A and B are shown apart, each in its own frame.
Chain A
Amino acid sequence: MRISEGEEEITAYLSGDIDHHSARDMRESIDAVVQMKKPSLLRLDFSGVKFMDSSGIGLIMGRYRLMALYGGIVRVVNVPDELERMMNLSGLNALDIIERRGVKLEAAK
């Protein structure tokens, strides 16, 4: 996983399989940077994710809560088609944080 840091925003490029085992390392790496930088936007880029079980949903929800603590927001971007079903099942759609292709969400509120 690669993390790019800007002034106000951080992007985590998730890759490989996300399961209960791998999610822990991803969570720790992302949180370390978020807690240091306190960005207003955390982008979770799923383009490199090959497999994901519900641990990926826990990962998103946890970062959503963490960012809310700092008054920041989370955007989930570049979700591969294979992961759409899991995303839909999760109820995350209600939070309006998943950016679908061609549909840009407001950058910050």
Chain B
Amino acid sequence: MNNKTKYDAIKIREDFPVLFQEVNGKPLVYLDNAATTQKPLSVIRKISEYYEKYNSNIHRGVHFLSQKATAEYENSREIVRRFINAKSTKEIIFLRGTTEGINLVANSFGKSNLKAGDEILISHMEHHSNIVPWQLLCEVTGAVLKVIPISDNGELDFDAYKNLLSERTKIVGIVHQSNTLGTENPVKAMAKLAHDAGAIIVVDGAQSIQHFAVDVQDLDCDFYAFSGHKLYGPTGTGVLFGKESLLSTMPPFQGGGDMIASVTFEKTIYNSLPYKFEAGTPNIEGVIALGAAIEYIEGIGLDNIYSYEKELYSYTAEKMSEYPEIKLIGSAPKKGGVFSFVIDNIHPHDIGTIFDLEGVAIRTGHLCTQPVMKRFNIPAVSRVSLGIYNTKEDIDRAAAVVKKVLEVFA
């Protein structure tokens, strides 16, 4: 689709069979895309194709099936490289998801580079997966975790970031777009400052990669992690981009098959990049289907997705503002399609159940961001999060449920 073609969400919907069903007697509306996205037919078919035609282990067999599976798997690596504009496929490591990517950096880079008194800087809006691995690293190394504050509208306090950076800072960990607040963080500017201070920057891209174009060379980030399942691809797949100059100096994260060049009981020589970081048989069909997911997204165009979702978010905010009872959590000027809200005296779990009874899937809870809940002094939120197949009608359905919630708890 080029920019002149009108974005056709109805046509895109048709590629997602799961959307065509009734839940509790009502046509399903899926608005929990920040938790996971649905999969298009091309991805589902790619998984079937792998098992029907060339299921085999990769990187070792000389037989036809293994060569075919290896070629498909490595083709996905090239698709990912192109998608995020990495310099080389050596910089693309396939893992289980964003969480494993961050854990890899913390364990491999962190343990071999940090010492007591060094500082790791993260923001107050991080997902638990970009908090806990660093805390574990701090426990082992004696490094100290520092937190960049956020403002009442959910924006990163950039001045505070500048002030917190020092020669002690070794790692900056930042979410590109917050899963709870929707805030898009100025990663490029942050990377420059981090580098000036002598630190590396690790970006959690779990909530950005599916919404706008990411160019890791332009951002100049050292590591960028994302999950396949939030990118319309299979669960259990993820990517860690790392600069080759860093990856080549880092010790392996896990040991096993595939990550070695030679093994004797006296000494093991590790495989070259990126295989050094891919121990064991990976999620082969998942990675292959992730390639199909990225090609699907590229077919629509991330720039088109970005403007469509922005427009749909504005519509969501407008519809929801019809209810003065709704309090939006996260209103940064630059934010994506995430509408988290609270209603006084109505618990998000009750809201979630009523949405479910109306066939509308949303997420409720602390969204794996308990520090954000604490920052805004709320136990939990309800979250509407948008995807490529959502329509204004979906938002109308969600808004109608809010009315019902208010009636029930009147």
A and B are interacting partners: no
Residues of A within 8 A of B (CB): none
